[in-house]
Structure 1
Amino acid sequence: MNRPIGHFTSYTPGDGSLLESLQEEYGSGFEKMSRREKLFLIAAIAIQSCDQANGRCRDEIYVVGHQINSSLPLEDKEGLIQALIHQVRWGRSLSDTQEVLPMK
């Protein structure tokens, strides 16, 4: 069972927000969107968030991205998306610790 948008966001029923509009148009769990549309929105949000984040990616991360896309089955890719989202929202990041990791 999908959880409603309000479980993940600040949406409150009746607040007149974009989130309310999205829920009315596409369902409380985006069940009225295709899989492709959901993946597109994930990519669009992630690209903008990446562009607004401080710093830059180490070169090796581009290689890791290619390895993930070319080697892992879809289920593992989706699991990594979920794990990375969890870490972005709730985990510590390199910028939080002020550490500098060496380039490989």
Structure 2
Amino acid sequence: MSKPVGHFTSYILGDGSLLESLQEEYGATFEQMTKRERLFLIFAIAAQSCDQAPGRCRDEIYVVGHQINSSLPISDREGLIEALINQIRWGRSQTETELPPMK
């Protein structure tokens, strides 16, 4: 079962925030959104976050993205989204100086 938005964010009941407004409009677990709408929000947030993150992607990561989208079933792709979000939020990421040189 899905957890409410407040479980994952700083939302506090009655705080008058955008998160409260979204929860009132679409439900505590965004159950009043379609899967496509939720995926679009993931895309929009990820694109903005990527633009704000320092550095750039290695060329091979674009290839990996294509391989994931062309070879894995949707359930595995959704699992990867969940895993990557968890790693971004709670894991340690390498800095550009720790990565091997770009090919």
Give the shorter-chain TM-score range.
Answer: over 0.9
Ranges of 4+ aligned residues in structure 1 off by more than 3 Å: none
Q: CA deviation at 1:12?
A: 0.1
What residue number does 1:100 align with? 99
Q: Which amino acid aligns with 2:99?
A: V
- Identity among equivalent positions (%) equals 75
Q: Provide TM-score, normalisation by structure 2.
A: 0.95
Q: Provide TM-score, normalisation by structure 1.
A: 0.95
Between the aligned partners of 2:17 and 2:23, the Cα distance in structure 1 is 10
What residue number does 1:56 align with? 56
Give per-residue Cα distances to partners, 1:38-96, cap 9 Å, x unaligned. Answer: 0000000000000000000000000000000000000000000000000100001012x
Q: List runs of 5+ in structure 2 lacking aligned partners.
A: none
> What are the within-5 Å matches in structure 2 for residues 15-94 of structure 1?
15-94=15-94
Q: Which gives a bigger RCO, structure 1 or 2 (Cα 8 Å, sep 6+)?
A: 2
Between the aligned partners of 1:2 and 1:93, the Cα distance in structure 2 is 27
Q: Which amino acid aligns with 2:46?
A: A
Between the aligned partners of 1:98 and 1:24, the Cα distance in structure 2 is 44
Number of corresponding residues: 103
Between the aligned partners of 1:88 and 1:102, the Cα distance in structure 2 is 22
RMSD of aligned Cα (Å): 1.2
Between the aligned partners of 1:55 and 1:103, the Cα distance in structure 2 is 12
Q: List runs of 5+ in structure 1 lacking aligned partners.
A: none
Q: Which amino acid aligns with 2:42?
A: I
